[in-house]
Amino acid sequence: MKIIFKIARAELRTLFYSPIAWLVLILFFTVGSGIFGFVMEKFSIMQEVAMDASPDWGGFDFGIGNLVATGILGIFKVYLYLFVPLLTMGVISREVNSGTIRLLYSSPVNTREIVLGKYLGLVMYNCILLLVIAIQLFSVCMSVEQPEISWCFSMLLGIFLLMCTYSAIGLFISCLTNYQIVAAVITFTMLFVLENISTLWQQYDLIRDITFALSISGKADLMLGGLITSRELLYFLSIILLFVGFAMIKLQSTQESKKWTVRASRYGLLALIVILIGYFSSRPRNIAYADTTRDKVNTLHPAIQEVLKQMDGSPLTVTLYTNLLDGKGRYGFPQNRNKYMRDLWEPYIRFYPNIRFRYEYYYDHRDGDSSLYQKFPGKSLEEITEIRAEILDIRHSLFMKPEEIRKKIDLSSEFFRLVMQLEYKGKKTFLRTFDNPLWPTPPNVAASINRLTRKEDVRVAFVTGHYERSPFNHTDREYKYHTNAKEFYTSLINNGVDTDTISLATGEVPNGLDLLVVADPKSAYNQTEQQALINYLNQGGNALIFAEPGKQFILAPVLKEIGVHPDDGIIVRPGKHEMPHIFINSLTRSGNFLAKEPEMEMYQTYGTKGGLVQNEGMLNLSYQEINGFSVEPVITTPGNAKTWIETGVLAVDSAPPVFSAAEGDIQKDTYVIALKLSRKINNKEQRIIVAGDADFMSAYRMRRIGIGLALHSWTLYNKYPYYANFPKPKDRFLKLTPASAALLFKIYVYLIPALLLIIAIVLLVRRKRK
């Protein structure tokens, strides 16, 4: 070991007698400091302005420290890729060209000690570079409140392993040629190959797994994001072992007169060992994880983990159905399987390893859909798919014909989109993909798994027969957007809840409903239908009831039974920029605690933001607590001189209305738009929400401002949907003022690099004179 350390010290000394080493050191410090100083100065200005405007400002929503740190390290990754070949190009060739390699061979030093000593010298230089990076991260941590220290250590580990891996590759390349420039070019080429090898021949399973195990692309990204895995650790260590071992084999061969087959077998055996290590360590079942983030944001949310615990260890089979003619079908192609696994399934395999994956490829389209034939006039379906396969550079023979796939499964209800089918203990359900994001979110995955493990389905029924809002109609005023729209990840159907319609003509509400929705009937219910609704509510059924101005009389007899009275008239507030009956209203405190929609959870945790709705025509709800109900407003609008209940005819496209108490217009201090009612009945809690507007839940309004599925969540006892929101990062405030940030920028970007440059010049000049 003493000899190894002596060689390492000599190598490190030689590096610092080279201008390249100093250039890299100064460049790293300057670039990192530039990013740090510039961003901190801008954020400090933004913070000062925000706090002056609002003293109770809650800070930046994102983590400042980690944003800056990942930006710095992202730049460092690029510079490492460019400069490591220059640092390593002469490690061995320099000894050969100067003749000192013969002295080493003739001294009591073996090849292993030479290679390890040289490599240790590079590692020591990497430690100095790492110290430079650590100074930047330390500066970031000192500049923000409550920094994530452990995350920073994960970042440093990732960048250090990347530097050491690059150095090992450069060390081996330096053994192959006596020309340093050639060594630098070959090293850069080798790094480029390892960076891009995972894009080659990915349609073949074995090659895809091997190239994924060898590829260096993105291997440090998880650590930069705060997640340390055994797969990445073993990858870096294996690649280091591979190229340091290659360097030993190469130098040893120059001292031996053995056949080339001996050298080849040594290279091959070492490569095989490394490939096997990489292959088996990258198998999902063999990976260990350490999430260094404070809130474990790289780990499945506890609510999602609880769903996985509902399975008993039996295999969960996931079949991905990929349609060649689907616009997003390319994401399911064989060459994208590793990305599919990494982006979607790896977090779940971590907690439930017994997941099996199958892949089916086909081409098909909806019956009667002529769009393909219009795009490719005169072509048959077979010819169209051949053209499509050629464009996407994939074998046409891989895909089943329509008649073949239809014998296996009916995908017409999924519109032949990219879709997964989950199967567990004989039960099956679909897990869909979307336009944005492509892959289902953790709540979507949890909901699909829950469909397979629960004993009964969750049923929501919309009353129909009187022109109510429909859960199946996709127009702007209807409710399909948040109920049965398969293309939206936020809809009920993709969050474990089935929605259908029922008629009250039979005089009773069917048994087994979890929630009944009465959404804006436009014609009156007869006595039988009214009594059916009243009976349902009296028996303790949960409900969402949406009334509309001008049609209060339809639901008034039903609402009377629970102590709610929809007042006559419509609430108005004339303004210059919007029609008088359109409002943007905030949820009350009680309303913000209905569910854990992101804005509502922000209110629950930090007291900021909160849910907003956009009402289009709303009535005021009067109420009294009867029959054991407790009642709380969940949506209100404040009263003022410009707001009132217009009891006359309102023409929204004419002159603005004018308040007239003589004509019956009413002003209130607060107008109640929606209420929640609850009581204990039949050994359970009954939950009802009544709203004096149905438009705020329509597709048109929800796409602009909405509270998602909060109302459904509360009336379903907050079991659906699954919410997987993580807390806001705690490093949301800067300790720096704009003046101190500007001073730090000057010190870090100008003063310290200038001092380093002076030290480098003095040292190099003195070395030159000697």
Produce one character per residue of 357-383: b if its CB has 16 or more CB atoms within 10 Å, e if not: bebbbbbbbeeeeeeeeeeeeeeebee
User: At which residue do the structure tokens 């006559």 appear?
Assistant: 568
Pick the CATH number of 456-715 from 3.60.15, 1.10.3300, 1.10.10, 3.40.50: 3.40.50
Question: Stretch 151-163: mean pLDDT, rounded?
Answer: 90
Closest C-alpha to 63, from 149, 147, 136: 147
CA dihedral 138, 142, 148, 150 (to 10 degrees): 40
Average confidence (pLDDT) over 646-661: 84
Residue 269 has pLDDT above 60, yes or no: yes
Higher pLDDT pick, 726 / 204: 726
In this structure, are residues 711 and 689 in contact, taking their beta carbons and an 8 Å threshold?
yes
Interhelix angle 552-560/527-538, nearest 10 degrees:
40
The domain limits of the chain are: 2-55+62-293+737-769, 307-452, 456-715
Higher-confidence residue of 31 and 698: namely 698
pLDDT for res 43: 84
pLDDT of 198 > 70? The answer is: no
Of the candidates 218, 231, 240, the one whose C-alpha atom is nearest the C-alpha of residue 123 is 240
* Range in 248-257, 377-386, 735-744 with the lowest mean pLDDT: 248-257
Q: Of 5-14, 91-100, 213-222, 523-532, which range is least confident?
A: 91-100
**Helix H or strand E encompassing 209:** helix 205-214
Q: What whole-number distance in Å separates Cα of residue 31 and Cα of residue 63? A: 21
| Residue range 427-442, pLDDT digits in tens | 999 999 998 899 999 9
- Per-residue pLDDT, 575: 83
DSSP 345: I
Per the structure block, which two tokens stand in for 112?
């292993």
pLDDT for res 202: 59
Token pair of 399 as six digits: 């895909």
Q: Which residues contact 644 (CB under 8 A, 6 or more apart)?
A: 571, 572, 659, 665, 666, 667
Predicted pLDDT of residue 213: 66
pLDDT at 95 over 70: no
Closest-CA residue to 184 (of 86, 78, 81): 86
Tell me the three-class secondary structure of 386-454, residue by residue: HHHHHHCCCCHHHCECHHHHHHHCCCHHHCCCCEEEEEECCEEEEEECCCCCCCCCHHHHHHHHHHHHC
Check residues 674 and 223 and name the one with the higher pLDDT: 674
With 90 as the cut, is the pLDDT of residue 205 above it? no
* Average of per-residue pLDDT across 383-412: 91
Residue bearing the bigger pLDDT, 606 or 685: 685
DSSP code, position 623: E
Confidence grade of residue 337 (pLDDT, cut at 50, 70, 90) = confident
Name the residue with higher pLDDT: 25 or 318. 318
Band (pLDDT 50/70/90 cuts) for residue 623 is: very high
> Residue 185: CA atoms inside 13 Å, Cβ hemisphere, count?
6
- CA dist 663 and 652 (Å) reads 18
pLDDT interval class at 464 (50, 70, 90): very high
End-to-end Cα, the chain, rounded Å: 30
Lowest mean pLDDT among 97-101, 538-542, 643-647: 97-101
* Cα distance between residue 727 and residue 725, in whole Å: 7
| Stretch 422-429: mean pLDDT | 96
Lowest pLDDT segment from 110-114, 139-143, 277-281, 765-769: 765-769
| Distance (Å, whole) CA 561 – CA 735 | 58
Q: How far is CA 159 from CA 277, 282, 296, in A?
A: 22, 20, 21
Is 369's pLDDT higher than 70?
A: yes
Mean pLDDT confidence for 140-162:
89
CB neighbour class for 237 (10 Å; exposed up to 12, middle 13-18, buried from 19): middle
Is the C-alpha dihedral spanning 441, 446, 449, 454 positive or negative? negative
Stated pTM of the model: 0.87
Residue whose token pair is 């088996």? 280
Average pLDDT, the chain: 88
Mean predicted confidence (pLDDT) in 470-490: 94
Picking from 90, 101, 246, 99, the residue whose alpha carbon sits closest to that of residue 178 is 90
- Label residue 208 by pLDDT band (50, 70, 90): low
- By CB neighbour count within 10 A (0-12 exposed, 13-18 middle, 19+ buried), where does 241 fall? middle
Stretch 319-329: mean pLDDT = 94
Judge whether residue 97 has pLDDT over 60. Answer: no
Query: DSSP E strands: which ranges in 682-744?
Result: 684-691
Q: What pLDDT shows up at residue 222?
A: 87
Please provide the size of the chain in residues.
Answer: 770
Q: Choose among 255, 10, 41, 222: nearest CA to 139.
A: 41
Q: Would strands 289-291 and 515-519 be described as parallel, antiparallel, or unpaired?
A: unpaired
Distance CA 750, CA 38 (A): 13
Residue 103 has pLDDT above 60, yes or no: no
pLDDT at 550 over 70: yes
Site of tokens 């409002």: 583
Q: Output the pLDDT for position 102.
A: 59
Q: How confident is the model over 294-305, as pLDDT tens digits?
A: 989 999 999 999
Distance, in Å, from the CA atom of 566 to the CA atom of 557, rounded to the nearest integer, reads 10
590, 604 contact by CB (below 8 A) = no
- Looking at residue 762, its pLDDT comes to 85
In this prediction, residue 322 carries a pLDDT of 96
Q: How far is CA 386 from CA 327, 373, 397, in A?
A: 15, 14, 9
Mean pLDDT to the nearest integer, 743-759: 87
Residue 96 has pLDDT above 70, yes or no: no
Rounded alpha-carbon distances, angstroms, from residue 534 to 510, 515, 537: 14, 14, 5
